Amino acid sequence: MSKISLGAKTLAAPTPAWLVGTYDATNRPNLATIAWGGVCCSDPPAVAISLRKSRHSYDAITARKAFTINVPSEQFVREADYVGIVSGRDTDKFAATRLTPVGSTLVDAPYVAEFPLVLECRLIHTIEIGIHTQFIGEIVDVKAAEEILNAEGLPDGELVRPIVYDPGTRNYFGLGKILGKGFVIGKELRTESGGTSGQE
């Protein structure tokens, strides 16, 4: 498969569509939509998000040293996108989206009542990269709607229905079909390839 050079661009896929919850300087709950982020450590459990300094949420995270990651289900794609279009400086985004802020009792930030999955984060690192600053938050708790848990009590993507953002086209996607189980489906290839089968 010969390849074409596209230049130095942020054309990774897939990326998440997450709403970052904060309190601003007037104590108003605010939200920011981000696609630049991801899990970054298992122990301590931690997640990284990147924001431009100009974003209203930047000052909030710096001041409160806390944020929430709110995972919208696909029915909230309009709300998720809207939150990324307007600024919390001049818009009460919770009011405009009719979403309900819930004050975390663990970190100094609000989360979205209607979303199925929420991570409450305490700021532990701030990394200046360039136009974006990366905030690393230790996940102090995960809150989930009972309806999205599987038999093991863990969030199931088929029930969460998270939104995937595609930077190349700017399209939001839902999840498709299950392709296989991690740490299981790969063993099919190990057996086929012979030499390495049986290694664990």
d(CA 193, CA 120): 43
Identify the residue among 26, 27, 183, 198 touching a second copy (CB under 8 A).
Answer: 183
DSSP 8-state class, residue 20: E
Under 8 Å between Cβ of 169 and 17? no
Sequence-separated (6 or more) residues with CB below 8 Å from residue 158: 175, 178
| Among 24-32, 54-62, 84-92, the segment contacting a second copy (CB under 8 A) | 84-92
Amino acid at residue number 93? K
Number of residues in contact with a second copy under rule CB under 8 A? 118
Output 25 or 187, the one with its CB closest to a second copy: 187
Q: Which 3 state secondary structure label does DSSP give 64?
A: helix
Q: Does 107 bind a second copy (CB under 8 A)?
A: no
CB of 19 to a second copy, least distance (A): 12
Identify the residue among 25, 38, 54, 63 touching a second copy (CB under 8 A).
Answer: 38
Q: Which 3 state secondary structure label does DSSP give 115?
A: coil
Strand partners, 49: 37, 135
Q: Does 198 bind a second copy (CB under 8 A)?
A: no
Backbone phi and psi for residue 37, each to the nearest 5 degrees, phi listed first: 180, 170
Q: Does 83 bind a second copy (CB under 8 A)?
A: yes
CB of 40 to a second copy, least distance (A): 5
CB of 104 to a second copy, least distance (A): 11
Give the position of tokens 């995937």.
Answer: 164
Q: Does 195 bind a second copy (CB under 8 A)?
A: yes
Q: Is the peptide bond before 101 cis (omega within 30 degrees of 0)?
A: no
CB of 30 to a second copy, least distance (A): 14
Q: Does 132 bind a second copy (CB under 8 A)?
A: yes
Q: Does 77 bind a second copy (CB under 8 A)?
A: yes
d(CA 155, CA 22): 23
Identify the residue among 31, 61, 123, 144 touching a second copy (CB under 8 A).
Answer: 144
Q: Does 149 bind a second copy (CB under 8 A)?
A: yes
